[in-house]
Structure 1
Amino acid sequence: MSNVMLKFISLDQHQPDKRPAEERSQDFLETYRRFSDEQAKTQASRCSQCGVPFCSTKCPLSNYIPDWLKLTAENRLDEAYALSSETNSFPEICGRICPQDRLCEGSCVIEPGFKSVTIGAVEAYITDHAFEQGLVKPVVPVKELLPSVGIVGAGPCGMAAAVVLRQKGYQVHIYDRYDRAGGLLTYGIPTFKLEKSIVTRRQKWLEESGVVFHFNTNISDKSGEGTIAFSDLRQRHDAVFIATGVYQRKEVKLLGTQLNGVVQALDYLMNSQQESGPSASMNAKGKNVVVVGGGDTAMDCLRTAIRQGAKSVKCLYRRDKANMPGSMREVKNAEEEGVEFIWQAAPEAFIGAEHVEAIRALRTELGLPDAGGRQSVKIIDNSQFTLPADMVIKALGFDPEPLSELWGDPTLQTSRSGAISVDRKNFMTSIEGVFAGGDIVRGASLVVWAVRDGQDAALQIAQWLSKK
């Protein structure tokens, strides 16, 4: 077979067609259209097949990216799917929502001279195609084993762990407080980034693979209707894996934070995705909306407010564009849809009698980089300015919930931040047979890291169970 790769010299980079801003801002359908068969093969052929694939080393999952790009270019899509799913339980999800510009594509060696390979779009295409062709089969372990594992949390970390544990033959039960699987994939990330049918498809696949879901079930300090005591859960299963994620909203202690119209990002996003539509207090229609924060959650709120028909939508962020944590691709999408970014500005107070009417902010300047490499922020004296605001959305991140307190088990050790403490080698908590991973351990992070933790932790759980 002739070499179909290294076409980056003769072929330009082409991202999946993006729906026009004036069209997509009127609905919640996905922003990007899917690659056609020919587009996927053509763009995959741009890979340089370099000796040291920095795209793979930068990927938290160490995906075999150059290999499945080559297989795609050669139209060997069944093999491409097999290889892609070997390292990633949910490639079609990561391909849609990972910040590729900061991970694999941002490390592509043909960038910047020829622009990177469109890795994420090809990754999503491979698995979507596999589902359509019936290549995605339920997990059938070589041998069914008696030990069972109870997983707390049906988000990406818990579901990824379930995949690996079922492959090993263990009985898996997932407990979740909500009525569907996915966690923030379902209730936090808007459909214009990830249509819920993609997550539902994976839930069905897990069910067909023998995973048992227990929805509308809280883990607590005592059992009752809709709740299971943590101690009872441990009695039910041979091992427990905690993958709850982080849902406690970070708060900012400013004057007026209690005013009506000042809301938390997750509350806003979850409310906007109700089948009955958003409630009046959470609906941005006709309002001047200001979002405080610069991460991907802030971008989700900004773009949701546009779609709800806000009068104006502004983003207030204390650093500059180069230092913001959110995906540059999402920033560009938001700008195209009409969002105004106000860089180097920090909120000082929310103004209003009972309902917020404005936000008073201060200008900032950036100093030397801190230990993490980000520039420090300094408030500029006497730099106040005011923005009109009928709704303020605080997108400041999330902290862990105090699980040891909520579950009535002080032996479950946590860090100062509330994150569960684990042995970094085997994911074991301070309680024998109880493991933890994902955001509840590492703090709010990317979905791809949650998948990595779930897969790695499952291997350690299987090893511990086999020795037991």
Structure 2
Amino acid sequence: MPEKQIAPKTRPTRINPTVRNALERLNDFGEIYCEYTPEQAVEEASRCIKCKDPACMKACPLHNNIKEWLTLVAEGRLIEAAASSRATSNMPEICGRICPQDRLCEGACVLGIKYDPVAIGPLERFINEHAFRHLGVIPAPELARPVGRRVAIVGAGPAGLSCAEELVKLGYRATVFEARPFPGGLLLYGIPSFKLEKRVVERRVEYLEEIGVEFACNTKIGDDPGIDDLLALGYEAIFISTGATVPKRPRMEGMDLAGIHDALPFLIRNNVPAKYLSPSDGAKDDLRGKTVVVLGGGDTAMDSVRTARRLGAARVICAYRRDEENMPGSRREVKAAKDEGIEFQWLTAPLAFIGDEKGLVKKVRCERMQLGAPDGEGRRRPEAIAGSEFDLPADFIVLAFGFDPAPLRNGDGRLRLTRWGTYEIDENKMTSWPGIFAGGDIARGADLLVTANKDGRDAALGIDRYLRNRRPL
């Protein structure tokens, strides 16, 4: 946008939240970004140029009321701004922390064409934390008259939690079944506390309990009990939100060596308080003095390298087969990793793992890559460079190649799967089994918190329509 079209008081540069010193923050797992002061928030929100047709809202999967609450913040009406953000999002204080705003709302900000985009994510976090501090609670929404009908949600991740909240608002009795000891899914068990402190998730769960959501933890729904059992208990509809938690594993020589770990179990046992773990999760890793290699380039890889540094690793290397520009991980997370001393080996693909006579991994054999023609998604394909093999030293390896869906076990074919292993669903989020709905990563593949939030909201509306048509309330 030409400069003359920007309001005279608009600052070209944004006010970013203070970031904790890199050396200091390696001593703990606390969040690294500090909050705005109210004065900073007002000044930053005032940079919004109030587009007639806000691109930021279109770029947000939830189509959040961004323009509205930025205007309220600029006017100093912070509590009202938080209420506006909650109207379209079930967990704005969490989205503000972990959404990849650079690829969504902030990436679409018109001001960002020439200047810095408005800091939408940090402001979303601030207004909701400010409201909680001043009100002492997350305000309860208006609830419809109870309709006396029960819905089961399988999986207490972001999609399941969002669906449960919306169903309770509509008057349904919602019960969330969770295999783990505490609700939250990857919000609690997968995302490290230096990005999202556990207290934030705990507070959100407490709020859901207060408005009437019921939780049945340590309860895995599969073959026994299964979907038929839930229906027999009187649940008239079921929403499946079991996520994508099955690790993608390469077929490489040396995979049986000791010291090779999947990313999610590594993150769980090293980031989650003992009270929320199961005995099978194992003890925390002692990485003092070790060389750690993380393979992969997404946000899970960034979470893993940064966790390894906090566990005392002497050297942490991230190897990724494309270059930095084509990395799927958030730019914010890559910068944080660099600040914390992580080494990056770009255009590097693993070939094999090499161990010693005791069966312990000691090296990763790699080869250099170059980028060729674009693939179907527009990303340039990595191609091996002949004769470029080399070895990376490694005492501890983390595999962060992504995740596949984790569908419920069922052998009767009533829940049809796509060729990607996700559930087939219609526009109402209903599967091939009438009355059984699905959303989040189990229906779309590994994706974002914000898309899971949207799926949960949409599924609640789909369930409501289905039950009303089946038997009017």
Same fold (TM over 0.5): yes
Conserved 8 A contact 1:263-1:394: yes
Q: Does 1:346 align with 2:349?
A: yes
Q: Secondary structure at the match of 2:160?
A: helix
CA–CA distance in structure 2, aligned partners of residues 140 and 45 of structure 1: 31
CA–CA distance in structure 2, aligned partners of residues 288 and 114 of structure 1: 40
Question: Runs ≥4 in structure 1, deviation > 6 angstroms?
Answer: none
For residue 310 of structure 1, the aligned residue among 310, 313, 325 is 313
* Residue-by-residue CA offset, 1:365-390 (whole Å, 9 max, x unaligned): 10111121111111111110101000
Conserved 8 A contact 1:272-1:283: no
Deviation at 1:408, TM superposition (A): 4.3
CA–CA distance in structure 2, aligned partners of residues 240 and 324 of structure 1: 37
Deviation at 1:410, TM superposition (A): 2.3
User: What are the within-5 Å matches in structure 2 for residues 276-315 of structure 1?
Assistant: 276=274, 282-315=285-318
CA–CA distance in structure 2, aligned partners of residues 6 and 12 of structure 1: 14
Q: Does 1:26 align with 2:27?
A: yes
For residue 180 of structure 2, the aligned residue among 178, 181, 194 is 178
Letter in 2 for 1:73: A
Q: Secondary structure at the match of 1:357?
A: strand
Letter in 1 for 2:400: A
Q: Secondary structure at the match of 2:67?
A: helix
The RMSD of aligned alpha carbons is 1.6
For residue 200 of structure 1, the aligned residue among 189, 202, 206 is 202
Counterpart for residue 150 of structure 1: 152
Counterpart for residue 401 of structure 1: 406
Letter in 2 for 1:360: R
User: What are the within-5 Å matches in structure 2 for residues 352-367 of structure 1?
Assistant: 352-353=355-356, 354-367=359-372
Q: Does 1:392 align with 2:389?
A: no
Greater Cα shift, 176-185 or 111-120: 111-120
- Structure 1 residues 7, 203: CA separation in 2 closer, same or farther (over 3 Å shift)? farther
Q: Secondary structure at the match of 2:112?
A: coil
User: What are the within-5 Å matches in structure 2 for residues 427-442 of structure 1?
Assistant: 427-442=429-444
Counterpart for residue 269 of structure 2: 271
Conserved 8 A contact 1:419-1:440: yes
Deviation at 1:281, TM superposition (A): 7.5
For residue 329 of structure 2, the aligned residue among 326, 331, 339 is 326
User: What are the within-5 Å matches in structure 2 for residues 105-254 of structure 1?
Assistant: 105-134=106-135, 136-222=138-224, 228-236=225-233, 237-254=235-252
CA–CA distance in structure 2, aligned partners of residues 401 and 336 of structure 1: 35
* Residue-by-residue CA offset, 1:3-38 (whole Å, 9 max, x unaligned): xx9466346311110001111122111010011111
- Structure 1 residues 7, 55: CA separation in 2 closer, same or farther (over 3 Å shift)? farther
Greater Cα shift, 116-125 or 273-282: 273-282
- Structure 1 residues 8, 154: CA separation in 2 closer, same or farther (over 3 Å shift)? farther
CA–CA distance in structure 2, aligned partners of residues 7 and 453 of structure 1: 40
CA–CA distance in structure 1, aligned partners of residues 193 and 412 of structure 2: 37
Letter in 2 for 1:410: G
- Structure 1 residues 465, 8: CA separation in 2 closer, same or farther (over 3 Å shift)? farther
Deviation at 1:229, TM superposition (A): 2.4
Counterpart for residue 463 of structure 1: 465
User: What are the within-5 Å matches in structure 2 for residues 2-21 of structure 1?
Assistant: 6=7, 9-10=10-11, 12-21=13-22
CA–CA distance in structure 2, aligned partners of residues 235 and 435 of structure 1: 17
CA–CA distance in structure 1, aligned partners of residues 259 and 57 of structure 2: 44
* Residue-by-residue CA offset, 1:34-53 (whole Å, 9 max, x unaligned): 11111111111110111221
* Residue-by-residue CA offset, 1:183-225 (whole Å, 9 max, x unaligned): 0010010000000000000000000010000000001212xxx
Counterpart for residue 225 of structure 1: none
Deviation at 1:66, TM superposition (A): 1.3
Letter in 2 for 1:458: A
CA–CA distance in structure 2, aligned partners of residues 436 and 59 of structure 1: 21
Counterpart for residue 443 of structure 1: 445
Provide the TM-score with structure 2 as the length reference: 0.93
CA–CA distance in structure 2, aligned partners of residues 7 and 414 of structure 1: 55
CA–CA distance in structure 2, aligned partners of residues 168 and 429 of structure 1: 22
Letter in 2 for 1:363: R
Report the number of matched residues.
Answer: 456
CA–CA distance in structure 2, aligned partners of residues 12 and 104 of structure 1: 17
Deviation at 1:139, TM superposition (A): 3.9
Conserved 8 A contact 1:97-1:193: yes
Conserved 8 A contact 1:140-1:209: no
Conserved 8 A contact 2:270-2:284: no
CA–CA distance in structure 1, aligned partners of residues 405 and 286 of structure 2: 27
CA–CA distance in structure 1, aligned partners of residues 272 and 94 of structure 2: 21
CA–CA distance in structure 1, aligned partners of residues 336 and 153 of structure 2: 36
- Structure 1 residues 387, 8: CA separation in 2 closer, same or farther (over 3 Å shift)? farther
Q: Secondary structure at the match of 1:241?
A: strand
Q: Which runs of 5+ in 1 are unaligned?
A: 223-227
Greater Cα shift, 140-149 or 196-205: 140-149
Counterpart for residue 3 of structure 2: none
Conserved 8 A contact 1:8-1:47: no
Deviation at 1:113, TM superposition (A): 2.5
Conserved 8 A contact 2:247-2:402: yes
CA–CA distance in structure 2, aligned partners of residues 267 and 211 of structure 1: 28
Counterpart for residue 259 of structure 1: 257
Q: Which runs of 5+ in 2 are unaligned?
A: 1-5
- Structure 1 residues 7, 385: CA separation in 2 closer, same or farther (over 3 Å shift)? farther
Greater Cα shift, 48-57 or 132-141: 132-141
CA–CA distance in structure 1, aligned partners of residues 321 and 386 of structure 2: 14
User: What are the within-5 Å matches in structure 2 for residues 414-425 of structure 1?
Assistant: 414-423=417-426, 425=427
Provide the TM-score with structure 1 as the length reference: 0.94
Conserved 8 A contact 1:357-1:390: yes
Deviation at 1:274, TM superposition (A): 4.0
CA–CA distance in structure 2, aligned partners of residues 100 and 33 of structure 1: 17
Letter in 2 for 1:116: P
Counterpart for residue 61 of structure 1: 62
- Structure 1 residues 75, 319: CA separation in 2 closer, same or farther (over 3 Å shift)? same
Deviation at 1:279, TM superposition (A): 5.5
- Structure 1 residues 7, 214: CA separation in 2 closer, same or farther (over 3 Å shift)? farther
Letter in 1 for 2:40: Q
